Amino acid sequence: MLISFGTDIPRFGVGDASEGGVNISISFRLLLRLTKLQRVLLNGPAIIPANSYSKQAAAQQASAPMGGNVFTTLSTPRMPPSVYFPIRDRCHAILSAYYTHVCTPLEAPEKETFGDIDILVHGPHPNPPAPISELSAALNAAASVLPRAEIPEANYAIPWPSSELTPADPADPASREDEQNRFIQLDLLTLPTPTTFHYQALTHAHSGLFTLLGPSLRASGLILTPTSLSLRIPSIELHRRRGSTIPLISTPSAILDFLGLERDTYWKRFETVEGMFEYVASSRLFTTRPRNVEGEEEEGKVKHRNRRNSRRPLFVRWKEEFLPRVREEGRYDRDVPSRDEIREEAFAAWPPTRELYEEKARAFEVERQLEEVGKLIREGVPQDVEALGLPLGTRGAAVRGLRRIVIEGDQS
């Protein structure tokens, strides 16, 4: 299919006079602008969606956020490790009787307190001790918020362990009473497949590790979406962010291998923040050399979607302490694969993605050109039709008619 436009139509007729149609002259300048559009050769039919992006599709792709204070009327103070880890393990033991897959994403290193307990689950157990609907009772929860259609996460307020006495005065009865009024928020996210379960465990581990690697991923034309490691399409990305990627793989081991990160190390909790920083820097995509990325903000500016992460202490330490130090020491000053090289490596690793990439880029170019044609048509039709002695709705009818003729090829 070849889309092109010529200059051999001096006048477009829109409708018939008996039907209220009119003839409007289209300027030769408009026709010249139409002919300057790039021609796109398609192998096979072109499918041009009216809108390739929808809120419903976005909601299906979005990962459910974990955390946040759900039980605002209850006291849910931050937990010391002596409370967090025993309760986390106890919840794992209970949930393992109800689900085939249970885990908590690996915690960040050097964390002194914990706000809640995040647990991922998948697969109802074939022989649970009780219906999953009675899970709240099994956890001894004082309150719960069950999953909603738009948020597949359940929240439970479970009792603070009675054996954990307040350090201020363990013998004080008031301390014990206060303890009974404290609760722990448990966030339970149910994943639909084993693949999504393992992928979420990967991306949520270490509380922001991939945030640190984000600039290296972007410079390489990669991004971790809520569902997969994906490849960015620059020709689409130049015009819009949404719909500008194709999925590559969701398997954690394949993702770590492609990024040049050691598998076994990733699945162990780092003892120190410095150790985690060194691990991130070991990626084959990381370098301390400046990298210019087309379409990205200048260095020092933070994208709106990353502002929350940029204020986190972990990210601040990475940016203000680790990076300046290793640059000064001359470490990690090395060549890394270019964006084009990474793209070819991805195509070689996952061959079907090449065709998907090219088809999506071609389809977007056709869509973009059709949008440009529609814009030129609107600009070429006079706006003040009343001044020309024409009815008020003439311009809209003319634009619609011209779109049918020029874009849809309507010869009627």
- Residue spans of alpha helices (H) in 36-116: 55-61, 81-95
CA torsion 393→394→398→400, rounded to 10°?
10
Give the single-character DSSP code of 271: S
Cβ pair 334, 326 in contact under 8 A: no
Give mean pLDDT, residues 344-359: 97
Dihedral sign of CA atoms 92, 93, 97, 100 in order: positive
Tell me the C-alpha distance between 314 and 208, whole Å: 8
pLDDT band, very low/low/confident/very high, at 19 (cuts 50, 70, 90)? very low
Helix (H) or strand (E) holding 201: helix 194-204
Residue 184's DSSP bridge partners are 158
Tell me the C-alpha distance between 126 and 1, whole Å: 53
> Each residue of 18-48: b (16+ CB within 10 Å) or e?
eeeebebebeeebbebbeebeebeeeeebeb
Cα 124 to Cα 63, 199, 243, 353: the distances in Å are: 20, 19, 33, 33
Query: Which residues, in sequence order, are CB contacts of 315 under 8 Å at separation 6+?
Result: 208, 211, 212, 309
Give the single-character DSSP code of 321: I
Residue showing tokens 């719960």? 144
Tell me the C-alpha distance between 158 and 236, whole Å: 47
Give mean pLDDT, residues 333-341: 97
Least confident of 273-287, 367-381, 392-406: 392-406
Give mean pLDDT, residues 56-82: 70
Residue showing tokens 């008020």? 392
Token pair for 160:
């603070």
Is 41's pLDDT higher than 50? Answer: no
Sorted by where each starts, the structural domains of the chain and their CATH numbers stand as: 2-49+353-406 (no CATH), 81-200 (3.30.460), 208-225+252-349 (no CATH)
Cβ pair 22, 15 in contact under 8 A: yes
pLDDT score, position 66: 63
Nearest residue to 299 via CA among 213, 241, 215:
215
Tell which wins on pLDDT, 84 or 381: 84
As a residue count, the chain comes to 412
Q: What pTM did the predictor assign?
A: 0.75
pLDDT score, position 30: 42
End-to-end alpha carbon distance in the chain: 21
Give the single-character DSSP code of 105: P
pLDDT band, very low/low/confident/very high, at 58 (cuts 50, 70, 90)? very low
